[in-house]
Amino acid sequence: QVRVSLAGANHMRVSWISSSSNSPSSVQYGTSPGKYESSATGSKLNYGFLLYKSGTIHGAVLGPLENNTVYYYKCGGMGKEFSFKTPPANLPVTFAVVAGDIGQTGWTVTTLEHVQKSSYDVLLFAGDLSYADYYQPRWDSFGRLVEPSASSRPWMVTEGNHEIERIPLISSFRAYNTRWRMPYEESGSDSNLYYSFDVAGAHVLMLGSYADFGQRSPQYKWLQADLAKIDRKRTPWLIAVLHAPWYNSNEAHRNEGDDMMKAMEPLLQAAGTDLLFAGHVHAYERWDRMFQGKKDDCGIVHITIGDGGNREGLATKFLDPKPENSLFREASFGHGQFKLVNSTHAHWSWHRNDDDQAKIADELWIQSLSSTGCSLPSKKMR
């Protein structure tokens, strides 16, 4: 269950699980196969849930690392050698977007195979990972399923509703927070459920649909502070990722993101957010630039891509007639690729899985708002 994630500038976190509590939490690594000039030692922990007890969950932060470089590594000083590639320091950079609801089905396998064949630098994931719900062994099978991809490129995730573990009188994210630690502390957040990171020319917000988001909440206050620090000359692209979509013309999960949108859309709009990815609805839909329910040339492009391959199937019922500002929608499994070509232009493509082939079904060139004047200081939030 080996995986890697970004952990601050020029650092990468390696996470894995061992059956023995005596296994060291160390990673040996280097830039040549079998030659490990460096090592890092981290921490270990486990957790219990009802009758389940996890293996020992290890995490070690490697770095500082060189940009755009392949590193070879071993976990715990033994076993298989893995490799990962660090993202580039500058544009261009490519994101693979499996924005949500992937689960563990045959379609999941197809989606992951297509993702692995693409040349991407970082994967963005908007929640509903394992579909374990409260059945903990599914977290282990999911970790093994995604290891080929998650061990070779950084996976950056945020929580969905299926990460919530509900039993009478208790609701928690224990498994998710313990297994999938993200760089929340590095971004000044107090919770693993929301954080941000920089990569090449992008600042990426990973927001929590299932953490408190009201104007007095820690998440809202953190978002205000985080957006105020952004330097659009250094990171001309601003991307947001969350689980429950704010714009949705599918009959599934209608209006479930409305309260969060009401609270946070003005912040993201004022900061000049270019694009927002969401999951939750098991279909694909791309909206025009939107703000407060209307088309806005300085608004956010909204893309719902909750079609990774989950066991619940596709959400096939869309509203009829189609809203004018919903530009493309389709109930198919697939994934997306978002390539930031330079500081002004990026290319988005959605690849459906039909017939086990990753066919481009929708694509779009996007101009950054920072290059249009929409995110000038006069537009920023007060």
CA distance 235 to 197: 11
Tokens linked to 222: 């953190």
Q: Which helix (H) or strand (E) holds 219?
A: helix 218-228
Beta bridge partners of residue 367, listed in sequence order: 345
Spatial distance between the Cα atoms of 131 and 306, rounded to a whole number of angstroms:
13
Number of alpha carbons in the 13 Å side-chain half-sphere of residue 361: 23
The answer to whether 44 touches 221, Cβ cutoff 8 Å, is no
SS3 75: strand
Beta carbons of 40 and 61 less than 8 angstroms apart? yes
CB of 57 closer than 8 Å to CB of 45: yes
Answer yes or no: are the C-beta atoms of 44 and 1 closer than 8 Å. Answer: no
Q: Are 336 and 348 in contact (CB under 8 A)?
A: yes
**Residues known to be catalytic:** 253
How far apart are alpha carbons 99 and 281 in whole angstroms?
10
